[in-house]
Amino acid sequence: MDMTLDRDSAAQRIWEMYGKLLHTVAASLLPGHPEDAEECVQDVVWAYVDAPEKWEPAKGSEKTYLCVLVRSRAMDRRRRLAARREEPLEDHAETLRAEDHTEEAALRDGLRRALAELSPAERRLFTLRFLYQWPSAEIGHTLGLSANGVDARVVRLRRKLKDLLARQGLGWSGKEDGP
């Protein structure tokens, strides 16, 4: 019981000293996901309280260490959220437009076959850029790339999709002038 009180008081101390800062760090990396940001902060506080020996004072202050932990957890959570958002491509079939249902079905099936030929990283990029319409900087932040790196990959992805769709006899009506 004494150990539980020590653990709780240590967590309370961390929360009082750094709680707002840690929440700000997590919330900035997880905009629109306040529950996930809060969970990251709580995870970090309890992880630190349970294993304070992992902090090496010679490498930085307690505050810096906790901020780095929260940033790392929030980035991991952000990647997991982005990966989950990639999966339900079927939910976005209405974004494909065609003149009639037969053409729409052919386009949807062709796109599905083309996407199946992409790597998981290419599908994730497709989802974030074309379905969720994230800007390059946001995608880069999520995937650990520069905005220019994202733009270059988008250009290559467009070319690849154009070729994959052309092999199926489907035209590409997307913009050809960069990301």
CA distances from 175 to 116, 130, 140, 158, 179 (A): 22, 12, 21, 9, 8
Q: What is the reported pTM?
A: 0.47
pLDDT in tens, 144-177: 889 899 999 999 998 898 888 888 777 654 444 4
Instruction: Grade residue 45 by pLDDT with cuts at 50, 70 and 90.
Output: very high
Instruction: Grade residue 1 by pLDDT with cuts at 50, 70 and 90.
Output: very low
Q: Nearest to residue 128, comparing CAs of 140, 116, 119, 117? A: 140
Would you list the DSSP string of 88-152? -GGGGGGG---SSHHHHHHHHHHHHHHHHTS-HHHHHHHIIIIIS---HHHHHHHHT--HHHHHH
